[in-house]
Amino acid sequence: MIVIGGGPSGATAASHLAGSGHSVLVLEKGPRGRSKPCAGGLTAQAVRELGFHLPSSVLGRPIYSLRLVCCGRTREVRRKEPFMWVTRRDLLDLYLLDNAARAGATVRNEEAAIDISRTNAQVTVTTRAGSYSGRLLILASGVRSGLVRKAGFSMTTPLGWCTVASIPTPHTDPGDTVLVEYDFGGKGYGWAFPGVGHMNIGYGCHPPFASQANNLFESFIQRHGLPKPQARAFWPVPLGGGRRFALTADSALVVGDAAGMVDPFTGEGLRYAFRSGRLAAEVAAAALSAYDYPPKSDLSYYDQACRVSIFRELEAARRVVCVASKFHRLFEELMLRPGMAESIQDLLSGQGGYGSLAIRGLLCMFSTGSGAVKRPKATTSEVSQGDGPL
């Protein structure tokens, strides 16, 4: 069994397969403990998807409050329990990959796959160091990987673009509140996530505004009094939902970002990386145990499972984004109504979904009895924008 990519989805799949007694080889192009541009938000639902305990040093800073900003106005909501953590991707990815190795997987860092071929019911992956063959392949090579088509997949996922940066905060306590600012007019959203000793900030743009990503990032940090980073990265993010495509092809399964599994509304991808990695491992393990050469028939269960447990959620998120873009003034008003920010926290914690978010929106819309949304009066949890950094 070969897994290309040692990120969250690939490492999760390798851990489950090796733990089931299968021989697993993980080919990771990056060095051990490599970093990746990422907001670092690890939601409570994502943690539950893993199915095992992460040490606090890997989990990072627990987050209790959400500060939501729309059209120059702010609403903040707080919980007694954390609804997410801000992690460091280098520490998280390293722990997950080491966990796969502890389960029995062989991990080869700095060995990038450059070609994929099939002969005699075997999948052969070629690197600069040599060639490796196995009965099945799990492709976890990330967004915009040229290996996706080489593995036999024909998929096109729209891409958003993010400008991201991590700012060291060694001598300050950035608090336990995440800031999220939405521009439902179509440009995108900004975020500031306080971690342990650092703060992750960024701005994600929808495809038509990719060329403006850096300027929008600059405007975002100025509006909120955030420190200007010394360095930043420009990174593509798949926008899940919408167009459908096969997730299995000729003894191969595609998982995580490579399959476009990122929520276009919240930007969350780790939850679906863990879930798809686990599902792929379960289906692959069953197929390998069946001694079916090649094990094509059994792999269809992976496609079906992802449709039900992943792509339904992503499609719901895509519809929310489409409605929000079309009726952005109405949506901006709704997002600041009592209960809406709480619904987003429920979404991130796994205590609610897009159905409950839609119902809450409808209740807010018609709560005045006329169907019109009225601007609510400011409360202690709703303030004007411009109160300084987190």
Give 155's contacts (C-beta < 8 A, 6+ positions apart).
148, 243, 245, 246, 254, 259, 260
- The reported pLDDT for the residue numbered 297 is 52
The pair of structure tokens assigned to 222 is 């100025």
Class of domain 2-310 (CATH, top level): alpha beta
3-class SS at 243?
Answer: coil
Q: Decide: helix, strand or coil at residue 238.
A: strand
One-character DSSP codes across 299-327:
GHHHHHHHIIIIIHHHHHHHHHHHHHHHT
Q: Which residue has the higher pLDDT, 268 or 327?
A: 268
Return the pLDDT at 360: 79
| Out of 57-71, 187-201, 294-308, 357-371, least confident range | 357-371
For residue 200, what pLDDT is reported? 93
Tell me the per-residue pLDDT of 276-299, one tens digit each, with 9 for 90 and over. Answer: 999 999 999 988 887 555 455 578
Q: Within the chain, what is the greatest distance between any pair of CA atoms?
A: 70
Q: What is the DSSP letter of 228?
A: P
Burial class of residue 280, CB neighbours in 10 A (0-12, 13-18, 19+): buried
pLDDT digit string, tens, across residues 239-270: 887 667 889 988 899 999 999 999 988 889 99
Q: How far apart are CA 299 and CA 289, in angstroms?
A: 12
List, in order, residues 6 or more apart from 127 with CB less than 8 Å away.
Answer: 27, 111, 112, 113, 114
Residue 273 banded pLDDT, cuts 50, 70, 90: very high
Give the pLDDT confidence of 2-50 residue by residue, as tens digits: 999 999 999 999 999 999 999 999 999 999 888 888 889 999 999 999 8
Please tell me the predicted confidence (pLDDT) of residue 52: 86
Number of CB atoms found within 10 A of residue 54's CB = 18
Average pLDDT of the segment spanning 179-201: 88
CB 304 within 8 A of CB 36: no
The rounded distance, in Å, linking the Cα atoms of 135 and 24 is 11
pLDDT at 62 over 80: yes
| Per-residue pLDDT at 367 | 66
Is a pLDDT exceeding 60 seen at residue 374? no
Task: Give me the percent of the chain exceeding a pLDDT of 70.
Answer: 90
What pLDDT is recorded for position 389?
38
Amino acid symbol at 366: F
Strand partners, 161: 205, 236
Query: DSSP string of 94-133?
Result: HHHHHHHHHHT-EEETT--EEEEEEETTEEEEEESS-EEE
Dist. CA 380–CA 372, nearest whole Å: 24
Side-chain half-sphere of 213: how many Cα atoms within 13 Å? 23
Q: Which long-range contacts (CB under 8 A, 24 or more apart) does 286-289 make?
A: 287/136, 288/1, 288/22, 288/135, 288/136
Which of 173 and 90 is assigned the larger pLDDT?
90
pLDDT in tens, 110-169: 999 999 998 777 899 999 999 999 999 999 998 877 888 888 887 777 888 899 999 888
Residue 264, preceding peptide bond in cis (omega within 30° of 0) = no
Burial 238-271 (b: 16+ CB within 10 A, else e): bbbbbeeeebbbebbbbbbbbbbbbbbbbbbbbb
Average pLDDT score over residue span 360-371 = 64
- Per the model's pLDDT, the better-predicted residue between 255 and 347 turns out to be 255
Collapsing DSSP to helix, strand or coil, 259 comes out as helix
Q: Is the pLDDT of residue 96 over 80?
A: yes
Buried b (16+ CB within 10 A) or exposed e, 340-375: bbbbbbbbbbbebbbeebeebbeebbeeeeeeebee
- Give pLDDT, residue 236: 85
CA 209/CA 202 separation, integer angstroms: 15
Q: What is the 3-state secondary structure (H, E, C) of 326-357?
A: HCHHHHHHHHCCCCHHHHHHHHHHCCCCHHHH
Mean pLDDT, all residues of the chain: 85
The predicted structure's pLDDT at residue 323: 84
